Amino acid sequence: MARSSSKKSWSSRQSVPNGATVFKIPATRIAEELGKKMVVNIVMVGFFAAVTDVVDAQAVRKAVADSVPKGTVDVNSQGVRPRL
């Protein structure tokens, strides 16, 4: 399927407003080191929570534990912990 040239690519670079801070973390590598590449989203949740202080760390840990499949609670918890 050909990509429409009129649509913006989700990976295009855009300028950052003055005063904005850009953070980069090796989220995929961290998830792979935990043994499950699929926890990359949880790694990012933990990082976002830690950087912004918008949500309490304990609340993030509980939300993760309550929302992931039972067999993945430990690895997902590890994914969020190092960032908080």
* Mean pLDDT taken over the chain: 83
Selected residue with higher pLDDT from 67 and 18 = 67
Other CB atoms within a 10 A radius of the CB of residue 79 amount to 28
Provide the pLDDT confidence category of residue 24 given band limits of 50, 70 and 90.
Answer: confident
Q: 26: exposed, middle or buried (C-beta count within 10 Å: 0-12, 13-18, 19+)? A: exposed
Amino acid 16: pLDDT = 83
Q: With beta carbons less than 8 A apart as the criterion, state whether 43 and 83 touch.
A: yes
Residues 17-42: what's their mean pLDDT?
Answer: 91
Model confidence pLDDT, tens digit, residues 31-71: 999 999 999 999 999 999 888 888 888 899 999 999 999 89
